[in-house]
Amino acid sequence: MRTNHEIDYRLFGEEMQCVEIELDPQETVIAESGSFMYMDSDIGMETIFGDGSRSGGNSFMDKILGAGKRLLTGESLFMTAFTNLGSGKKQVAFAAPYAGKIIPLDLMELQGKIICQKDAFLCAAKGVSVGIQFQRRLGTGLFGGEGFIMQKLEGDGLAFVHAGGHIMERILAPGEVLKVDTGCIVAYTSEVDFDIEFVRGVKNAIFGGEGLFFARLQGPGKVWLQTLPVSRLASRILSYGRGFGRKEEGSILGGLGNLMDGDGF
């Protein structure tokens, strides 16, 4: 038996997706501030501290502490709860913040816990706890690409996370090791061992362009990977905005043409 609210959903779109949540009367979905897209007229919206779950206690101070933990993951103190106050099924939708995919996660089928990157959470059924996960290893926290703090989703309901580009799922057998670029990890189940590994070879480390460390994921468990981390996308856009890395492909005038167009070299 689920203790979290049971919600249904539909995904729309390919690269810029949204998820439409169908709520029965008195069912509630919680979402990050700024992810709302549309809702039916009988759905009520309420801003709440934290995630609305009871995992941290019911007192006001417990709610303050629970919401304060969200600041450590770069999120807002507040979340928004959307409740169906009508008599029939109603819909509310949430949109992805950038190009990529929305991943539905049934926590009941995933041993009740998922660890994900700090900005991945989009929305979830009421009762799902959105907390923090500290990296226990010093090296993983310093060089793992996600810092010492990641998001932790716990419960037995549906949760939705978002990541950039295309999403790949890998199921790791016991003892199986997968080496991943540190920015490409979206989420993994709690039994996966997350560590880092130094890139071997002086030439690879200095000139390889892939950084000094791999993320090392060891099974058993399930891993979700993204092809386009938002940090990589932002870095590439920023470099083109400054004029670095531009190959002037297809331009006879090259940099002179850019200057004439007002773009500079």
Confidence of residue 209 (pLDDT cuts 50, 70, 90): very low
Is residue 30 pLDDT above 90, yes or no?
yes
- CATH, residue 184: 3.60.160.10
Looking at residues 156-179, what average pLDDT do you find?
94
Residue 196 banded pLDDT, cuts 50, 70, 90: confident
* Confidence band for 144, pLDDT divided at 50, 70 and 90: very low
Take residue 138 and report the two structure tokens written for it. Answer: 């010093």
Q: How many residues does the chain have?
A: 265
Q: Is residue 233 part of a domain?
A: yes
Residues 125, 34 contacting (CB under 8 angstroms)? no
- Which phi and psi angles does 235 have, rounded to 5°? -65, -40
Q: Most distant CA pair in the chain: distance in Å? A: 68
Range of the domain at 159: 8-246
Nearest CA among 129, 89, 175 for reference residue 4: 129
Residue 2 domain-assigned? no
Q: What average pLDDT does this structure show over 109-118?
A: 91
Instruction: Determine the Cα–Cα distance for residues 67 and 50; give it in Å rounded to an integer.
Output: 4
pLDDT at 250 over 60: no
Q: Please tell me the predicted confidence (pLDDT) of residue 9.
A: 95
Domain-located, residue 255: no
| Mean pLDDT, range 188-200, rounded to an integer | 84
The residue that leads in pLDDT, 199 or 146, is 199
Question: Residue 53 phi/psi, 5° resolution?
Answer: -85, 170
d(CA 18, CA 36) in angstroms, rounded, equals 10
pLDDT of 252: 45
pLDDT score, position 233: 73
Rounded percentage of the chain residues whose pLDDT exceeds 70: 69
Give dist(CA 119, CA 32) in Å, integer: 10
Is the sign of the CA dihedral 20, 114, 212, 200 positive or negative? negative
In a domain, 3, yes or no: no
What is this structure's pTM? 0.77
The reply to whether 72 falls in a domain is yes
Spatial separation of the C-alpha atoms in residues 210 and 205, rounded to whole Å: 8
Number of structural domains, the chain? 1
Helix (H, G, I), strand (E, B) or coil at 64: helix
Reported as a single tens digit per residue, the pLDDT across 74-103 is 566 778 999 999 999 999 999 988 889 999
Asked if residue 258 belongs to a domain, the reply is no
Residue 189 lies in a domain: yes
Mean pLDDT value across residues 71-75: 59
Average pLDDT over every residue of 28-52: 88
Give domain status of residue 1, yes or no: no
